[in-house]
Amino acid sequence: MLPRNVSIRHNLKPGDIGYLTYLHGVLYAKEFGWDYTLEPYVAVPLSSFAQSHTEREQIWIVEKEALLVGAIAIVEASREAAQLRWLLLHPSLRGQGVGKILVAKAIAFCKLHGYSTVFLWTVSSLPAAAHIYQSAGFQLTQEKPPAAIWGALVIEQRYELRL
């Protein structure tokens, strides 16, 4: 169940792309010291999604009192594989089950649209997100050596769920 005054919508509205990019930038800068290079990493594929997503792709926008506070999306990687992208929640909503709800909605969408697998890329410095993924049945399938990206040293991880 969603917390009070929190809702989830599927349609993009003016400002969503920019604000979602902004949230990624400012929240991860504050939490992990990541720099501005994260923003184009989010903005470029998110903009492409907004311009040409198909019925096999979906975004969920989380709002609290009409303010965008989070999101998740499914993007078609191939006919068989979906990619889960842009999971983010404002710190004020974390730990209240919203991330779990979003991941469950994304998985149900993938099943409904005939994907056989769903995968995602994350980083090891997001253990709460990893816990949500693992609780939903995702398994860690790849871990890259530490690399300097976004102005910090990060370890990228790939998780996959067979549907």
**pLDDT value of residue 26:** 98
- pLDDT, tens digit only, all 163 positions of the chain: 899 999 999 999 999 999 999 999 999 999 999 999 999 999 999 999 999 999 999 999 999 999 999 999 999 999 999 999 999 999 999 999 999 999 999 999 999 999 999 999 999 999 999 999 999 999 999 999 999 999 999 999 999 999 9
Q: Are 145 and 100 in contact (CB under 8 A)?
A: no
Sign of CA dihedral 136, 139, 142, 145: positive
* Extended beta strands in the chain, E state: 6-9, 58-64, 67-76, 81-89, 117-123, 139-143, 147-149, 152-154, 156-162
Q: Is the dihedral of CA 34, 40, 44, 47 positive or negative?
A: positive
Domain boundaries, the chain: 6-115
pLDDT of the residue at 89:
97
Fold of 6-115: Aminopeptidase (3.40.630)
Decide: pTM greater than 0.85.
Answer: yes
